[in-house]
Amino acid sequence: FIDDDFFLAMVSSASSVCNALSRVLWGVIADKLSYQVAMACVSTIGTALTLSLLLTPFMGKTVYLLWICAMFCCIGGTFSLMPFAVHKCFGDLHFGINYGMMKVAVSISALISALISHFLLPVLGYNWLFLLAGFISYIAFILTVFLHLTRHGRGKITRTE
């Protein structure tokens, strides 16, 4: 719905800045409150933005810019909170290896989701793909809320010397 390449380039640049700055902000929020509060906020906001992205063509270019920047703030939040989650679930012992394996899993899932969306887009269209992405973000919220109820969510594993 936006035919202005310069504007879209500006959206891309602004969203990259938002992504970078939000990593610090979400880290501060997690330090001050908790991982769960920060991640619940990130996934809730991400879900709302993804589900409502379908409406941005009716609200204009400025709203689209704000939505994309806010979505990239959520992406930054997710990536800045990953070390918190790995540490909470697996503790200090072998943190580097555990975090590295989690990043490998994220890379593999990114490739798989790109392939899946490539084939689903012609079948479902953008609207249903956005709804599917919003639903997946909602699942992240549910998992975050219940993480503390698992044996890994209690964070009792510590480094042994």
Give the pLDDT of residue 12.
Answer: 97
Structure confidence by residue, pLDDT tens digits, 30-47: 999 888 889 999 999 999
* Domain locations in the chain as residue ranges: 5-149
Tell me which of 17-21, 55-59, 139-143, 145-149 is least confident.
Answer: 145-149
Give the pLDDT of residue 11.
Answer: 97
Which whole-number Å values give the CA distances from 4 to 7, 25, 61, in the listed order?
5, 31, 10
pTM > 0.85: no
Q: In angstroms, rounded to a whole number, what is the distance separating the alpha carbons of residues 94 and 158?
A: 10
Structure confidence by residue, pLDDT tens digits, 106-159: 999 999 999 999 999 999 998 999 899 999 999 988 988 887 655 655 544 444
Per-position b or e across 97-119, b if 16+ CB within 10 A of its CB? ebbeebeeeeeeeeeeeeeeeee
One of 1.10.3720.10, 1.20.1050.10, 1.20.1250.20, 1.10.287.110 is the CATH number of 5-149, namely: 1.20.1250.20
